[in-house]
A and B are shown apart, each in its own frame.
Chain A
């Protein structure tokens, strides 16, 4: 082992490899970064040392070594080999490795970016998001327009998202949803801070302080309970039947996650997609674009039960703790088995603090939760609330603040 001195600056000036290798390696590191690897200069320097190290001459060994160095999470670990082979051993690597548009996308997406990239960049996904609410069937659209015409005086807050057809009105609704989510967040955190009470004596620290006074415990030190901030996990149903509402909730999610330090968001239709990274994108437009793309259902109904199973199995341990509220936004039309849904809801219920189910259809007249899926899920839901207009979202805040 070398002395401590070498470790404070752990690397001797690297140079064992020639300039050509260095340039090539730089290209490789760039490709890795484009694929969401978090690597810095010191990793590159170490990689140069590895390239020069004896015993790492053959391809598989070098690959394993570089993988250990560059990968820093499971998703990196899994795609590294393909990237390595593509870069060092195939032609046209640039095209196949570059996926700048897809940075930090969840692993569920296919690795071969060639196929997806044009789609991501080309068609304006914004238009897709924005188009959704208007994309009702003809009859519905007519109804919506009539309604809009008749209800000019109605407050926007009370209008069902389905019936907002005017693009400007829609923009206002989006902006309101986002603002509402942010305001909710601010109030929630303040409450969490104010709630820090409850004092027990911290004997060890009291003793520590008393040393300076010859052992006389003049200052008593109390132990405060650290309060975990409320964490919000949002599961949004993006299936066909929900399409009039998806765009608004996408905005709402963005607003909520934008400033929530601890939050996660998932979108599901036939499968579950982690969209947290996409939503945390600083530029709201980019976030919307990416989310809009991901939220598009592939058709074939909603599998709420299976999506929840995926969540419970792969994401719950990471995202849930005892102060987590899970917000499910769905109309409850499930094409899977109700038993599965009930089982997964029960499992979810055990792991989090509250489950809030927002159902846009509650706002409809004469609605009763008749769908088999909805019925199966209801026993595990702490709050079953409407979410068809901004008023109903606003009404949610006091409830969440009490958690």
Chain B
């Protein structure tokens, strides 16, 4: 068995059914020591890849959620100012030499680890998930690039901290901003698409307890057809999981058995008013006929 098949199998055991290309990309991460950039529509399971990967390697998952205005302090490290001030106050008049006090308050004890530092200081190689990197500012992206190539951090008061272990890095992007070529070039790239019917049915079976095979297949087909409709927010895998769970929850065995309930449960799939209007009862009925 090749690396790829081993990874695919282990991911499946962790509850993530990867397609072959993704398994290849994940096996390359270890071979080439490059981060993996995942792009794709919202809800196709980009974040779940990192979670499953952490489970496969029995590694801690460290997550950095990016947002506009994210800076070094929130991503890398920060001094615990409150504690430093308390320590200073406590030592006032104690006669300790200023040098000793300084060494004390700028020691590891007063350092707050943020995700990036935590990832490279982890004893076992961690899985570092940098989520929605496109939401962060361009400056932060440049900084990230530096960390990802050197895996060492210089803290002026403390010196250079080199990595204890090299984390496996997964970046995800939703495409709200164009990422820089430099970052893209540095990373392996995988475009995550919606799963095909068989894989989605398999995912449903693996993740929704108590769902039977026939219903899973029906749901997968139905969701595929819904995705083909002209919608503003196309339902992702997370939505179809909710939908399937809701259906099993009300004890449905066959989608055609109770179209009215199916229509009601569409709230788990369609998340905007416009999309609800785009799928009136007649359309749903037509889609349900195709499922068989």
Q: A and B from one assembly?
A: yes
State which of A7, A49, A56, A64 has its C-beta within 8 Å of the C-beta of B21.
Answer: A64
A318 touching B69 in the complex, CB below 8 Å, given contacts A49-B32, A207-B81, A211-B88:
no
A49 contacts which chain B residues (CB < 8 A)? Answer: 31-32
- In residues 1-38 of chain A, which contact B (Cβ within 8 Å)? 1-2, 4, 6-8, 10, 38
Could you tell me the distance between the alpha carbons of A78 and B193 in the complex, rounded to whole angstroms? Answer: 12
* B28 CB–A CB distance under 8 Å: yes
How many residue pairs between the two chains, A and B, have CB atoms under 8 Å in the bound complex? 116
29 A/B residue pairs, CB under 8 Å, sorted by A:
A2-B33, A4-B164, A7-B33, A38-B184, A50-B28, A50-B31, A61-B2, A64-B20, A64-B25, A65-B28, A68-B24, A68-B36, A68-B188, A69-B188, A71-B191, A72-B37, A73-B39, A76-B189, A77-B189, A77-B191, A78-B191, A204-B81, A207-B81, A210-B85, A211-B81, A211-B84, A211-B85, A214-B85, A215-B88
* B245 CB–A CB distance under 8 Å: no
Is A55 a contact partner of B88 (Cβ separation < 8 A)? no
Interface size on B, residues (CB 8 A): 50
Q: A46-B32, A69-B32 are in contact. List 20 more A-B contacts (CB 8 A).
A: A1-B165, A2-B33, A2-B166, A40-B185, A54-B2, A61-B4, A61-B24, A64-B21, A67-B189, A69-B34, A77-B190, A204-B81, A207-B82, A207-B85, A210-B81, A211-B84, A211-B85, A317-B174, A318-B175, A318-B177
- A74 — nearest CB in chain B belongs to which residue? B191
Nearest chain B CB to A349's CB is how many angstroms away? 14
B125 contacts which chain A residues (CB < 8 A)? Answer: 1
Is A72 a contact partner of B79 (Cβ separation < 8 A)? no
Please report B residues at the A interface, Cβ cutoff 8 Å.
Answer: 2-4, 20-21, 24-25, 28, 31-34, 36-37, 39, 69, 73, 79, 81-82, 84-85, 88-89, 92, 105, 125, 149-152, 162-166, 174-178, 181, 184-185, 187-191, 232
Interface size on A, residues (CB 8 A): 43
* A166 CB–B CB distance under 8 Å: no
- The dominant DSSP class at the A interface is helix
Nearest chain B CB to A322's CB is how many angstroms away? 11
Nearest chain A CB to B106's CB is how many angstroms away? 9
- Rank and list the top 5 A-B pairs by shortest CB-CB distance, nearest first: A72-B184, A55-B2, A215-B85, A68-B25, A207-B81
